[in-house]
Amino acid sequence: MLATVVPRPSSPLLVSLWPGPAPTPLRSEPELAARCGVARIWLKDESRRPLGNFKSLGGVYAGLRALAREGGFDSVDALLDSPKCGRERSALICASDGNHGLAVAAGAQLAGAPARIFLPAAVPAIREARIRRHGATVVRVDGTYDDAVSAAAEAAGRGEGLLIADTSQDPDDPVVADVMAGYGVMADEIIAQLDCEPPGRRPTHLVVQAGVGGLAAALAERLGPHLDAPARMGVVEPDQAACVSPALASGTIERIDGDLATVAGMLACGEASAPAVARLRSVQVNPITVSEAQLTAAVVILAEVCGVETTESGAAGLAGLVSLPLGSDAANAFALSPSSRVLLILTEGPVRREVSAAAVS
């Protein structure tokens, strides 16, 4: 558990940064529930978030907090009100598969600071382009996301800027704590949106994408007390890049082998985040790994049944649920039944929507 207590950003702060819809919709999807054989499904639609994905909650906030700390400001608001120009502020540095880097670049732009985003070779050019639109410098790294993480950390270690990582080997990393605090805004929104549902009609299961584990950890910690029994949480990873599952089993963080090649590019992570794993090990979590075919099929299901466009990364939660057919040993281990009520997170919209939503005024 993190020792550092980090204030969560308020929704009004986020709205002040980007005029737009807040909170994002929590959709009830009866047809999807019927298809999956469960009583109810809620879908939290993060494609409607500024920047088109949930990372705008974490990377922007953590970047602004770091700049505020460095500049001696007592709040992010004070930082943004300061007349200092970008030349007087440190660069924000991070590694990313695309979305975290976009958020950090946007945060730097808001504060008038430069940004350097380290991207692994497999990140598509369209994701690089939307980062550059926020004035960031993009550094391509041969290798995987984890190689980009190392390169970004080395650059920050040389004094080239402030590292705004969403993963760390340090369970008490303050920047990662800020990132997860940002994700906590989503949890607060969900709690408020479910307030009309009395106990006995609230979600019994939360199924969420893993990546390095930060989102799953933030939601598990905050939403756990608001779930109905059996109050179970599934953490979904591509079987080509499943780094959180072994970390949960062993309690140690080790980089997994392989090239991490997966259609769910935002989840192509080979080393779990120690702060996230520490939180996830304190709650009951079922690791779920899914195939490439299941990830692709989930995108199609969401489009056909719900009329929602997303990517394989955004649909990974549904892929995890569909991978547990009722009556199977895996479903029984997850206490999944026809009476279950499931909360899913659609973490991003299609890339073209993210580009159109990315302008910061």
**For the segment 156-194, what is each residue's pLDDT rounded down to a tens digit?**
999 999 999 999 999 999 999 999 999 999 999 999 999
DSSP 289: E
Residue 354 pLDDT greater than 60, yes or no: no
Residue 11 pLDDT greater than 50, yes or no: yes
Q: Please, which pLDDT band fits residue 39 given cuts at 50, 70 and 90? A: very high
DSSP 306: I
Instruction: Tell me if 222 sits within 8 A of 195, measured CB to CB.
Output: no
CA nearest to 212, candidates 169, 174, 173: 169
Query: Residue 284: what pLDDT?
Result: 83
DSSP string, 60-110: HHHHHHHHHHHHT-SSHHHHHH----GGGSPPEEEE-SSHHHHHHHHHHHH
Query: Residue 12: what pLDDT?
Result: 56
Q: Please, which pLDDT band fits residue 360 given cuts at 50, 70 and 90? A: very low
**Domain match, 108 and 139 both:** yes
What single letter denotes the amino acid at residue 313? S
Query: Residue 252: what pLDDT?
Result: 93
Residue 265 pLDDT greater than 60, yes or no: yes
**Domain match, 218 and 303 both:** yes
Q: What is the CATH number of the domain that holds 266?
A: 3.40.50.1100
Q: Please, which pLDDT band fits residue 2 given cuts at 50, 70 and 90? A: very low
Cis peptide before 23 (omega within 30 of 0): yes
**Domain match, 123 and 83 both:** yes
Q: Mean pLDDT across the chain, nearest whole number?
A: 90
Residue 94 pLDDT greater than 50, yes or no: yes
4 located within any domain: no
161 located within any domain: yes
188-198 b/e with 16+ CB inside 10 Å = b?
ebbeebbeebe
176 located within any domain: no
Query: Residue 257: what pLDDT?
Result: 87
Query: Residue 268: what pLDDT?
Result: 94
- Name the least confident of 5-14, 40-49, 72-81, 110-119: 5-14
Q: Please, which pLDDT band fits residue 4 given cuts at 50, 70 and 90? A: very low
**Domain match, 47 and 74 both:** no
**Domain match, 199 and 287 both:** yes
Residue 62 pLDDT greater than 80, yes or no: yes
CA distance 278 to 284: 12
**Domain match, 39 and 63 both:** no
**Domain match, 75 and 118 both:** yes
The C-alpha angle 134, 99, 222, rounded to 5 degrees, equals 125
What total of structural domains would you count in the chain? 2
- Name the least confident of 155-164, 221-230, 334-343: 221-230
Cα dist from 65 to 19, 241, 251, 274, whole Å? 20, 30, 30, 21
**Domain match, 155 and 225 both:** no
What's the alpha-carbon Rg for the chain, to the nearest Å? 19
5 located within any domain: no
Q: Please, which pLDDT band fits residue 85 given cuts at 50, 70 and 90? A: low
pTM of the model: 0.91
Quickly tell me which residue has 């990372």 as its tokens. Answer: 55
Q: Please, which pLDDT band fits residue 84 given cuts at 50, 70 and 90? A: low
Specify which residues 342 forms β-bridges with.
41, 205
Mean pLDDT, range 223-235, rounded to an integer:
95
Share of the chain above pLDDT 70, in %: 91
Q: Please, which pLDDT band fits residue 82 given cuts at 50, 70 and 90? A: confident
| Domain closes at, from 133, 165, 197 | 165
State the residue range of the domain holding 290.
11-54+184-356
